[in-house]
Amino acid sequence: MQVSGSGSVPLSVIVLAAGQGTRMNSDLPKVLHQMAAAPLLHHALTTARGLDPARIVVVTGHGSDAVTAAALAFDEAVDAVLQDPQHGTAHAVAQAAPLLTDATGDAIVLYADTPLIREETLRAMLDARQRHGVVVLGFHAANPGRYGRLVTQGETLLKITEWKDATQAERNISLCNSGVVCADAQTLLSLVAEVTNDNAAGEYYLTDIVELARKRGLSAGVVLCDEAETQGVNTRHQLAEAEAAFQARARSDALENGVTLTAPETVFFALDTHIGRDAIIGPNVIFGPGVTIESGAEIKGFCHLEGCHISRGATVGPFARLRPGAELAEDVHVGNFVEIKNAILDEGVKVGHLTYIGDADVGEFTNIGAGTVTCNYDGVMKHRTTIGKRVFIGSDTMLVAPVSIGDGALTASGSVITENVPAEAIAIGRARQITNPGLATKLFEKLKSIKAAKEKGH
């Protein structure tokens, strides 16, 4: 973007993602633990991308290769730089300096383990840059604990004091530091270069830039946000708390945007879930990544959806599973205990129940009977099934791919279809039925006598 309070100027975002997260008790880097079906890092990157920045730099450390791969999976345009060794937040920001030598406009520093910061909050910080050289995001904490304290005089931020270095009077302050800062990019980098490690922890604190800026005659100010936005993730308990906070926010946003949630507390969203107005979501629905639901669609209870697109007027479930690559056109009906994977269902297709459709193309207004399976895997490779328009697939049909069914064709119930079926043909692929009158009675009498003999022998 070109975002800033005073007009359209380039923005840079630096995301700090170097921490090991020892309190997570995990081999996985902390910022790759998932919340709402996405790594914590992706939450920070999503917020950053909402500002349309000219450049995003991720500072990595522990598990650098994996963190870099996750950043590039989110957006190949993201730059990653390694902080090794790790000597504090100012030192981390300094690692981004070589990538931002030509940066103009403002820069914002975010944290990959603080996933709930809102885009609107960052825009408020950019607006505040019209009045201050450095802007810090702060919050009033119910229990300030070991947070850094913001020492203010009126609307002016005098300094940020880390808890380890704070006096008792400063520790009594409830206004706390989130760590998020905004300043002119080149000013930020030059201030960071002046930071020393003369403190109790022997680290280079990003918070020191406030006093350094004031020595240059630059003002510093605070933008306030709700404490919930600043929820950091350092333990599994905090990860669960952040997940709950995200879901509560996502449910509220969905309701505000005209989506019906019949039991909101039972619906779980992914970071990138998109749902149109007047869609209806039943109870106990779980959204994995990559799901788009168009306006007017209905997802009934107990469905699991991932990597799929559901068009206007379609209905899904209850108890259905849509896997990556599932594309449902308008007015498609997918019923209970149906699984769809990597398949395109055209307008008006009906797949009522107890069916698996994988690696398939299904033409408009085709009806798929209960118990149908597209047998798409031969143990080595996947093969595709093509079903034409207005086809009737009888119940319990096995479609052994690769195979195609022509427009208007019909398969008889219980058939195993291994060859292509021409348009408007009937295909029957089952053994001939043999009926022996009276034989059932004779067979049951014989079995009963065998059973009685065994019981008598005991």
Contacts of 452 (CB under 8 A, 6+ apart): none
pLDDT for 287 equals: 98
Q: Which two tokens stand for residue 205?
A: 């604190």
Q: Are residues 268 and 210 in the same domain?
A: no
In this structure, is residue 208 part of a structural domain? yes
If one counts the domains in the chain, the total is: 2
Q: What is the pLDDT of residues 57-70, one digit of tens each?
A: 999 999 999 999 99
CATH code where residue 172 lies: 3.90.550.10
Preceding omega of 318 cis (within 30 degrees of 0): yes
Q: Are residues 61 and 184 in the same domain?
A: yes
Residue with tokens 């926010």: 249
Long-range contacts of 382-386, Cβ-Cβ distance < 8 Å, separation of 24 or more: 382/358, 383/359, 384/359, 384/360, 385/359, 385/360, 385/361, 386/360, 386/361
Q: Are residues 93 and 202 in the same domain?
A: yes
Q: Are residues 181 and 262 in the same domain?
A: no
Q: What is the dihedral of CA 335, 246, 31, 70, to 10 degrees?
A: 40
The whole domain housing 143 covers: 11-230
Q: Could you state, in chain order, the average pLDDT of each consecutive group of 10 residues for the chain (458 residues)?
A: 48 95 94 98 98 97 97 97 95 97 96 97 97 97 91 92 90 95 97 92 93 96 96 96 98 98 98 98 98 98 98 98 98 98 98 97 98 96 97 98 98 97 97 91 93 86
| End-of-domain residue from the set 212, 230, 248 | 230
Active site residues: 353
In this structure, is residue 4 part of a structural domain? no
Q: Are residues 226 and 250 in the same domain?
A: no
pLDDT for 9 equals: 75
In this structure, is residue 346 part of a structural domain? yes
CATH code where residue 402 lies: 2.160.10.10
Q: Parallel, antiparallel, or unpaired: how do β-strands 106-111 and 220-224 relate? A: unpaired
- What is the DSSP secondary-structure string of 308-363? EEE-TT-EE-SS-EE-TTEEE-TT-EEEEEEEEEEEEE-TT-EEEEEEEEEEEEE-
In this structure, is residue 326 part of a structural domain? yes
Q: Are residues 340 and 309 in the same domain?
A: yes
| End-of-domain residue from the set 211, 230, 249 | 230
Residue with tokens 């129940």: 353
Q: Are residues 37 and 53 in the same domain?
A: yes
| End-of-domain residue from the set 230, 262, 293 | 230
pLDDT for 6 equals: 37
pLDDT for 327 equals: 98
pLDDT for 200 equals: 80
Q: Are residues 306 and 170 in the same domain?
A: no
Residue 262 has φ and ψ, to the nearest 5°, of: -70, -25
pLDDT for 8 equals: 62
Partners of residue 393 on adjacent β-strands: 368, 411
Q: Are residues 380 and 316 in the same domain?
A: yes
Q: Are residues 186 and 333 in the same domain?
A: no
Q: Which two tokens stand for residue 317?
A: 């479930």
Q: Are residues 151 and 300 in the same domain?
A: no
Q: List, in sequence order, the alpha helices (H) in 145-263.
A: 168-171, 185-194, 209-215, 236-256
Q: Are residues 223 and 265 in the same domain?
A: no
In this structure, is residue 345 part of a structural domain? yes
In this structure, is residue 382 part of a structural domain? yes
Q: How many CA atoms within 13 Å lie on the side-chain side of 194?
A: 15
